[in-house]
Amino acid sequence: MRKLTILAAAMATATLSAPALAADDAGHWQVKLLATGVLPDGKITKTRTDLIGLPVLILPATVTLKYHFDAGPIRPYVGAGPALFMIFGEKPGATARTLGAAKMHMSEELGIALQGGVDIPVNSSGMGVSFDAKKYFISTTLHVKSAAGAEVLTTKHKLDPWVISGGVYLRF
């Protein structure tokens, strides 16, 4: 069930974000299809066993304002904006429940994202390739509660991932 939830959430995220529309200075439209990788900037490099039940999905909802530099047909850009990290699927695992944890919740937090990228045309029909990098600055707080509702553990987590994307676009 956990893998099905992750797969469904990933597909929903891809469906909602796959064609991103943006207007350029001339009033033309651009449709992008990007593959994205999330590169955590934390201390944990590998999890072999998860008996405490780490979250299964983090969705960074981000809105950025971009400035495109005038570099001829190649369009480098920089941007910045707010980001809301929505965290789904937090449940204490078997070990955490044995230690008295009945519920856990990671707070949804507002942070910022800095962005840089470039759009490079490959033909005169409006097709091109796009590369984009975002650095997020955001933290979350983990709240663990007992069956009686008492908070038994509170920890602060600095997330700050890099999100790297690349793909194709069509300008029309």
pLDDT > 90? residue 42:
no
Q: Comparing 40-44, 127-131, 152-156, which segment has the lowest mean pLDDT?
A: 40-44
Which of these, 134, 140, 138, lies nearest to 155 by C-alpha position? 140
Q: Comparing 17-21, 59-63, 135-139, 144-148, which segment has the lowest mean pLDDT?
A: 17-21
What pLDDT score was predicted for residue 64?
92
Instruction: Confirm if 113 and 101 have CB atoms less than 8 A apart.
Output: no
Alpha carbons within 13 A on the beta-carbon side of 59 = 14
Could you read off the pLDDT of 65-117 as tens digits, one per residue? 999 998 888 999 999 999 998 888 788 877 778 888 888 888 898 999 999 99
Could you read off the pLDDT of 5-23 as tens digits, one per residue? 444 444 444 434 434 444 4
Going from N- to C-terminal start, the domains of the chain cover 2-171
Could you read off the pLDDT of 124-141 as tens digits, one per residue? 888 999 999 999 998 888
CATH code, 2-171: 2.40.160.20
What pLDDT score was predicted for residue 96?
78
